[in-house]
Amino acid sequence: MLQGMTGPGGKRKLGRGSATKPADAEYQRLCAYTVRFMRSAEGWEPLAGDGIDVEVKIGTGEVTLDIALRSPDQTRILIGECRGWARNLPKEHIFALRAKIADLAETTGEKVEGILFASTGFQSGLVRLAEGYRIRLAKVRRDQNAAAFTIAFPEYDPARRKVLFRKAGVGITEQVNLSEALRVELSSPDGQVIATSAP
C-alpha cells in the first residue's frame, strides 16, 4: 500500500482518506464488491480469503493489497487499490500501483492487471498515465451501497483538455426469488457491455 508521500520540506505525510485506515474499510468493501461483480462472469475468485487486504510476497518483502483476485485458469491476477479521498487523486498513485503490478508479475510469473478506485475523481495527469500503463480507473462514490451503485470510468479528452467520465449504474430495486440462474449485464448508454455477472 502507498504508505505516504513526501510533502514540502521532505516530511512524510499520510494520504488523507487512504483505505488502509480502519475508517475506510467500508469503502474498500464496496470497491471489492464492484470489481468482483465486474469479473464474476469470467469466474474470478479472491486470491486469498475474501480478496480484501491480501498479503503477498514481492521480492524479499511483503505487501498488503487492498483487493486481489485470480482468474479461474490461475494465469492472471487483478489487484485493486481503493482511495476514498475527498479530492482528486494525483499521479503518484498510478506510479505506486504500476510498481506493485510489475513486482507481483515478476514474483509470480503471472499476468497482473490493476484497477485504481477513487471516491471523488482523478487528476488529468493520472488519467493520461493510466491509459499509457493500461491500468483501469473507476470512480465509485463512498456514499453508495452494493444494492445500488454507480461506476464512472474516466477518459482523458485531449481536444477538450479535460477528464470525461462514462457512467454505468447498477441497481437492485426488488427482491427476486429465482428457480434458475440469473445473468446480469451492465451496459453503457451507447450499448457497450461493461460487465456481466455469472449465471
Task: List, for residues 59-87, the tens digit of each pLDDT value.
Answer: 788 999 999 999 999 999 999 999 988 89
Alpha-carbon torsion, ordered 56, 91, 136, 29, to 10 deg: 60
Highest mean pLDDT among 9-13, 98-102, 122-126: 98-102
pLDDT of res. 166: 67
Which CA distances in Å does 8 have to 3, 11, 111, 112, 192?
Answer: 17, 6, 37, 34, 44
In CATH, the architecture of 15-170+180-196 is 3-Layer(aba) Sandwich (3.40)
Sequence ranges of the domains in the chain? 15-170+180-196
- For 119, the grid coordinates are 471516491
Contact 91, 83 (CB under 8 A): no
- Please write the tens of the pLDDT for every residue from 33-44: 888 877 877 889
Mean pLDDT on 86-93: 91
Query: How far is it, in rounded angstroms, from Cα 72 to Cα 97?
Result: 23
Q: What is the mean pLDDT of residues 116-124?
A: 90
